[in-house]
Every structure is written in C-alpha cells, then in structure tokens.
Structure 1
Amino acid sequence: MEEEEDLENRPCMLQDSLALQATEKSFYDVLSAGQQLIQHTCGQKYLGRYEDFSDSVEGPTSSKHLASCSEGLDQTELYDTTLLCSSKNPGFYSDPPCCQNTDAMANYDTRIAHDKLKLIRLHCSPYGEATERMAHYFADALEARLAGTGIELYTAFAKRTISAADILKAFQVYVTACPFRKMSNIFANKSIGMLTREATSIHIIDFGILPSGPPKLRVTGIDFPQPGFRQAERVEETRRRLAKYCKRFNVPFEYNAIAKKWDSIQLEDLKINRDEMLVINCLYRLINVPDETVYENSPRDDVLRLIKQIKPDVFLHGIVNRAYNSTFFVTRFKEALFHFSSLFNMMEATVPRENQESAEIMNIVACEGTARVERPEPYKQWQLRNQRAGFRQLPLEQDIVKEVRAKVQRRYHKDFLVDEDDYWMLQGWKGRVIYALSCWKPVDD
C-alpha cells in the first residue's frame, strides 16, 4: 500500500462492466448496439485547455497554467487536486435539429434513411458549433443503427486503453467547468455528516463506488462485474485508494468489495451490523440497471427492494433526469435531441469544443434490447418508483441547499441552476433539469 500507483500505465476500467452488460444479449440484440458515456463515474472525457471559475467573478476567466496543472505532480497529489476540496481545484439553447423522418430509421427503411443522412452530413461537423457537433454524433449513431454495427463499435470503445491518469485529468477538467458532480458530492457528504454527527460506527454501502476523533468507518463498495477473471478489480482499486486516505487522516477503516449484478446481491453479502449507522449512497448509477421494459421482473425494482431490506438510516439517491428510456425509437430519439441540445450548449459555453465527445448518443440511438444500457427516468418517475418500493422522502436540509446554490452562483457560469421541487435538489442548465438528488428512508411494514 505504500507503493506509488503507476497511473500513467494503469488502464481505466470503468467502461468494461457496461460493455459486458451490453454484450449479454439475445440473438435479436445483435442487430444493434452502441457505446457508453464515461461521465457516470469519472465525468466527461474533456482533455486539454479549460477555464477556471474563480470566486471573485461570475463567469469564466482565462487560466493558461491550468491546462497542464497535473504535470509534475506525484500520484497522491494528483488524487488530492482532483478528488479533495482543496485550493488547487477551484471549481469543485439553441433549438434542437429537426427530427422529421425518424420513422424511416425506426423501421430500418434504408433508402429513405440514407438519403436523409446525406442531407444531415452536409450540415454537421465534429469541429463546428454546438448544434453541428450534436448533429454529427446523432448521424454517426443513426448510421450505426442502419448498418447493425453497434456491437462492434461498442466493443472497440470499451477496449480502448485510457490510463487512470488521463481519466483523473479529464475529471479535473469536468469538475472545474461544470458543478454537477462536485455539488452532488457536497450534498451527499454534508447530508451524511449531519446524520452521523454522533455516530461511533458508520457503514456506508455505496452502489457505484468511487473514491470520496473520527468514527470507525466501514464501506461496502458495489459495482457491476468486469469481464475476465478479475471481475472485482475496479472495486478493489477503490479500496486501496480509500485505505490510503483513511490511514492519512487516522480513520479506522474496513472495506467489503462486491462486484455482481446488483439485482443478484443478497442481504448476507453486505455483512450488516445493526449497531452501526447505516447509509446507502447511490449517485447516478441506477440508470444502468435494466427495468421492466427489458425484463418482466424489473431488476431496478429488485435493487430498491434490497435497499429496503437493508433498513438504512438514510438512502441518498441521485438520478440522471432524462426522459429517453422509451421502447419506441421515435419518442426516444426526440427526447434525446432535446436533452443533448442543452448539454452541447452547456459544453459550448464552458469546455473547449475540440475536447468533447458523446458516446452516450450511440447507445441511445443505435441500441435496442439489453444492448441499450443507458436507461434514465425523470425524477418524478423515480419518486413514484421509490414510493412503490416502500420508501418515504425526507425534507431537504436547507443549509446544504443554500451552500450548494451559493457555490454554484459564485464559482460557475451564470446559466447553471440549483433549484428545489418536492424534496428534490435539482441541478441543470438554462432551465433544463439534468440531475436531481434526494434523501429517503424505508417505511416500516
């Protein structure tokens, strides 16, 4: 544990588990496929120059030294500047294109579809303005849908070698330019801190684990299995990093690693001790658990039933607020256009365009069946799902919401928003809600 990690040569494994999930398919699913967006665990892959949002100004200011700020740092320092709230890390609508004739794509009418694609290609570019870049990625995805090459593209994407160091640098760019991840962590950490202030022993069960007189801390890190013989390698990597931080800050620490399909986890796997304060943390990862549109018995509801069985003192739930989980292609396509028009507009204002990419579009447009692993629901739909599963929603801590809102207003672009609705803290861009967070408790039977 004392040895320094070789981040430059260590591959980033965060795509692998979803690649495995997408390729576990029926013969029907071979007809389509796609790729998966890195942001759920490590933020957007934006490498290179970026902008610093200082506390003293409302908008972005030029900051030349930040482009290579991680060069020359040792591995511990790199993690500190990326993951900790330190002074070295200061930042922790145009109309969508026309979507006529998508019926041709839905029905695989290749002649009409190819004619329309040719027209789209005349007006799109990966290097153009926001709308042109978005049209480029949607055109790529439509082409893959027609050609049936999604699985090959997805597999190629998952096998790309991206070092852990590059992912950390990309994540640092992301949290500096965009508040969503950092403010989500502040919301979760402050909420846990208020709840566990008097606790002598805390057990955090983290679905979608990432590194994030003290009490004894026990963490159960859960993630999807990776392909191959070392299916729990990513979860174990996180254990080693957390252990180093806990040793550094003198926190007694235990860790239980689980790499399984989440709906197959049993209560006994979690090693519950009823003398501990129990916290469930699940930020933005249930999007990748299949629902009733894929299987008659929804794995998504199975996970919620497991969480209710655990009987946590609090269940912190972060969701990706998107409405493109329809089984009907045209509906899904239109909703994705509206959503990504906001995202690309946001990226245009905050991140250099040459460093942007969106593989999530490929998965949404080119995939059907179990190959489609991006399955978001709006927060109102999650609210009903959680209530049906036997949870009641807790009021938001107003001091935490005020702190998050003040940080976003002070440090980030003026068009980012923080709002509240029915016990949800909402984050978004120019009036469109992109993420939502809330706290829940199981209702006694």
Structure 2
Amino acid sequence: MAVHTIDNDIHAVAVKDAENFEIPNNLAIPLTEKNMYSYHHEENKENTVLPQASLGILRYKGKEKVNEMNLVMPSHITGSPVLSTTTIMKIAKEQLLHYTSQNYDAYSIIFSPLIADLGPSPQVTEKAEFTLLLLVSAEMLTNQQFGRAKKLLNLCINFSFPTSNPVQRVVYYFAEPLRKRINKGTEIPILRANVDALNPDGMEEVLMDPRIDVIETEQMLPFRKVTQFTGIQTILDCIKLLKRIHLIDLGIKTGSQWTILMQALVGNGECLLELLKITAVGTSLIRMQEIGKRLTSFADTLDLPFSFKTVVSDLQNIKKDLFESKVGEVVAIYADSRLWTLLAWPNHFRSLIQVIKSLDPCVMVVTEIEANTNTPIFIDRFNEALFYYSAIFDSLETCIGWNHQHRAVAQGVYIGKIIENIFTSEGEVMVHRHEKLESWTALFERFGIAETELSHSSLYQAKLLADKSTCHGFCSLEMDGKSLIIKWKGTPIKSLSAWRFPHV
C-alpha cells in the first residue's frame, strides 16, 4: 500500500464534517502471514504502520522537551540514545494536555497539520502520533462520544498488531478492551482478533495457577528474578537457625524458588533443621502434586528433612485449619503478586489477614505490582495502566524479543485479560486491581502489621541480580522507606516488602 494513498485518504476525509467521519476501507491492513513476515523482517528499516505526518498531531519545541523527561536510554547499552515505550506515551500525553489546555476539541486534534518534528527521529514522532490516536479515543469515551471514539479505536486496531513493536502492541491491547467497553454498553457483539483463538481459561484460574508458558516468560524478566531471589533471602535471614520451619506459599507457580532456599539451608554449615515443611496454595491439585514430587526429590538429594502439603483453595476461602500448623513450627508467608487479587473483596482480604495473623508468622514477604488501577475514575485507571503496561511491553521486547514462543500467550492470556478487566468492568466486577506500595503500607498498618527492614544481605542480592542481568542498565532499584522498588527504564514495576505481625 503506497504511503501517499493513505495520506490522501485521511486528509480527504478530514475536510468532511467530523460527525460524518468514516474510516476508508483501504486503511485496513489485512493480518496475513505474508504481511506479518514482511513487517518484521525488513532489514535496516523502521517498520511502520502509519505514514510520517499523516495524522499531523504533534507539537513540540524540540529535543529539550524529551530530555526534560530524563528517560532517554544510555547509548552504551543500545549504541545510540533510544526512547523507552513509556517515554513515547508520556510525550503523546503531554501533547494532548497541551491541546486540551488550549480548548481544542479532542476530535479536531487528529486533523491538525504538523508544524514541528519531535527531534530524536521521525520514527519516534510517528509512534507518538499513533499513541495520540489512542489517547484521544479514551478522552472521547470519557466524554461519552462513543461513536467517534469507536471509529478511532477501529483505526488503532487496523494499524496495530499484537506481535509488532512495543508501542503498537500497547495500542492494540488497549484499543481492543476500550472498543469492547463501548460495545458492552450498546450490546453490540464484537469480533476478536486471532490472539483470542487461544481460548484461555477463566481469569481466576489463570491467576491462581498460571500456565507454564506464562511463568517461563515472567522468569526471563529481570525484575522477576530480583523479587524472587531477594524475597527468598529475606525469609532465609529470618529462619536459617531454626529447627522446624513451615513455609506457606500463597501462589506457588513452579516452586523452583524453594530449591534455592533448600540449598542455602544445607550449605551454610550451621543447619540445625529437623523439618522444612512447605504448604502450597492453589486451585490445581495435580499441578501442586507435581511440584511437590519435584521438591521432595530435590530435598532427598540434599538429605534434607522435608514435607510438602497442598491447600486446594482460592484465597477467598482460606481457613486456618487448612494449613495443619504444628506446635514448635515457625511460620513464614510468601505472597508473590497474590494479595492484589483480593482488593475487590475487602471482607475476604480481611479474613485472609486474620488467618495469617492467627498462624503467628515470623515474617511475611510481599511482592506486588507497583501501579494504581484501583481508582473508580476510568480515565485515571487508563493513564496509570498505560504507563505501567508500556514498560511491561518494553521489557518483553528488550529481554525476550518479539518472536519468542511463549510471549504471545503471556500477552493474550495474562496481560491482555488483566487490561481488559481494568477497562471493561466497573464496581464489584472490576476484580483485577492493583495498588502502589504506599496503599499497601496504609492497609497493613490498619491491621497492626508492621513493615520491617530488608536485610543487607537481601539488598545485596537484589543489586547483584540487577547488575548481572542481561538487561543491565534498564532495571534499577530504589528504596521506598524500608521496602524495595524495582523499576524498568525509570518506571516502577514491582515492590518488595517484608512485614511482621503482632504476637497473637
């Protein structure tokens, strides 16, 4: 498709009454195997789906505006300065704010002529233009301009793929649920893209017992390794000289992290251990039994006294007697991105905390997503999710690459579903909510749970992992009070904190 043809089509439409705006048929790029291959394998070219200045929606004074954001990637890593996906989103967002502050009608922005380049490259300008289409769509949806919003969302979807560059992937996975939100209100059926042919299980099942390809994708990201190893070190610092240890994992996933702890327990030369018991919580008994067999076999090779128990339950229905805690056992709790799934049900969250308190743990290690998508205001959720998941897609591109066998599943089954719930659900049915560390701190304090210092050894472990990561320079660490924040190219991704309970 010739670039000038698309330009002509768009600008011809621009002169029409905006109310009658229709997307030309020849704007749709068919999602065929041939097109996908050509799109990703052209050598030495920046792949594009929108022509330069075709929408004409950016106004910037030059490179200094980008530099003010302080999110340009170091050249020693990439060979040349590269803007992160989140930075491009922020550029587009600031441009939208500039227009709205000048009382521009949001719809008219997309037809304004381009008067200045962004500075770093035409490709960055183009990506920001493409993002601005999505931002304008969200503004229109907020203002109940559903017809206009839907037409722009259709344009976003037609020009984006779930397997293209990070900006286009973000636009795709955001535009789809926004369109679904509109259709949900008007009861119009929606045709989904091929990614939904995966036919994923219910979201609750995905959260409690995620697919192995989702877990393996997550393991390739540096912030996952940092939180996992640092969390294990934090627990180890509390239990390493104890005789009977009971670890409760509220979402065990593969359980591989506990082999690391086992090795540390027998390798420090001071092991007084009489029993290490791990209780796994999940909804798939078969998967947990398989994990238990692997861990038991590994413990046997170390001559480590070991017991593995399962609790087949979601977190909403946890009871104390399910854990079979014995007198003399010291309990430690490991909650890896699990507590957020109860934010939609405060009563269930309160019940879980009461159960945990009754077990009198020596420590609870908590890892959570560092984003706030729990606000009742739609546009605030949109903006928060946009910047957060832009960083996630950026990390997938950098650490894994576009064509990895597991990435499409992780995007479509896990990330895509969470984004969809954030946008298409309101009130009690908006079950997939995240809060930032400050909110968790306030929440735990209301239950009398005190934040405790992360040890020097655990923080050393975190720094070592971040420095030795293949994505060194992109993953950074920052202390927030006593807790650790892991960032990707400046955007907070995960928080890691440790908590002590008052004695029962």
Against the structure 1 CA distance between its residues 106 and 270, is the aligned structure 2 distance closer, same or farther, given a 3 Å change threshold? farther
Partner of 1:13: none
- CA shift for structure 1 position 245: 1.8
Q: Which has the higher helix share?
A: 2
The answer to whether 1:434 aligns with 2:493 is yes
Other-structure match for 2:246: 203
Residue 454 of structure 2 corresponds to residue 396 of structure 1: yes
Hey, what does 1:80 align to over in structure 2?
A: none
Structural mapping, 1:35-434, within 5 Å: 93-96=86-89, 97-98=131-132, 99-102=135-138, 104-105=140-141, 110-121=146-157, 123-148=159-184, 156-158=199-201, 171-172=215-216, 174-176=218-220, 178-210=221-253, 211=255, 212=257, 215=273, 216-223=275-282, 225=283, 232-289=285-342, 291=343, 294-295=344-345, 297-355=346-404, 356=407, 357=411, 358-359=415-416, 360-369=418-427, 371-413=429-471, 414-434=473-493
In 1, Cα distance between equivalents of 2:322 and 2:492: 36
1:107 shift after superposition? 7.5
CA distance in 2, matches of 1:335, 1:408: 25
CA RMSD of aligned residues (A): 3.1
Q: Note the C-alpha offset of 1:278.
A: 1.1
Deviation readout 1:49-85 (Å, 9 max, x if unpaired): xxxxxxxxx9599xxxxxxxxxxxxxxxxxxxxxxxx
The alpha carbon displacement at 1:430 in A equals 1.7
The amino acid of 1:281's aligned partner reads: Y
Counterpart for residue 83 of structure 1: none
Cα displacement (A) at 1:253: 1.8
Q: CA deviation at 1:110?
A: 3.9
Measure, in 2, the Cα distance between the counterparts of 1:169 and 1:249. Answer: 29
How far apart, in 2, do the equivalents of 1:170 and 1:261 lie?
Answer: 19
**1:107 to 1:233, Cα distance in 2 relative to 1, 3 A:** farther
1:218 CA drift (Å) = 0.9
TM-score w.r.t. the length of structure 2 is 0.61
1:240-280 CA-partner distances (Å, limit 9, x unpaired): 22222222322222222112232322222221223112111
Give me the whole-angstrom Cα distance separating, in 2, the residues matched to 1:278 and 1:394: 16
Separation in 1 of the partners of 2:331 and 2:398? 40
Look up the SS of the partner of 2:432 in the other structure: coil
SS of the equivalent of 2:454 reads coil
Separation of aligned partners in 1, 2:197 and 2:326: 41
Percentage of pairs with the same residue? 21
Q: Which whole-Å CA distance do the structure 1 matches of 2:78 and 2:305 have between them?
A: 41
* One-letter code aligned to 1:348: E
| Compared CA separation, residues 187 and 239, structure 1 to 2 (3 A) | same
Aligned partners of 1:235 and 1:258 also within 8 Å: no
- State whether residues 333 and 361 of structure 2, in contact with CA within 8 Å, keep that contact through their aligned partners in structure 1: yes
Instruction: Name the CA distance, whole Å, in 1 between partners of 2:213 and 2:157.
Output: 32
Question: Structure 2 regions of 5+ residues with no counterpart?
Answer: 1-75, 80-85, 90-130, 258-265
Counting matched residue pairs gives: 342
Higher relative contact order (CA 8 A, sep 6+): 1
Change (3 A) 1:167 1:101: closer
Give the Cα separation in 2 of the matches to 1:113 and 1:433: 30
CA distance in 2, matches of 1:318, 1:271: 25
Distance 1:186 1:310 in 2: 24
**Compared CA separation, residues 118 and 171, structure 1 to 2 (3 A):** closer
Residues 340 and 368, structure 2, Cα contact 8 Å, conserved in 1: yes
Report the alpha carbon displacement of residue 305 of structure 1 after superposing the two structures with TM.
2.2
- Contact 1:108–1:146 (Cα < 8 Å) also in 2: no
* Counterpart residue type for residue 181 of structure 2: R
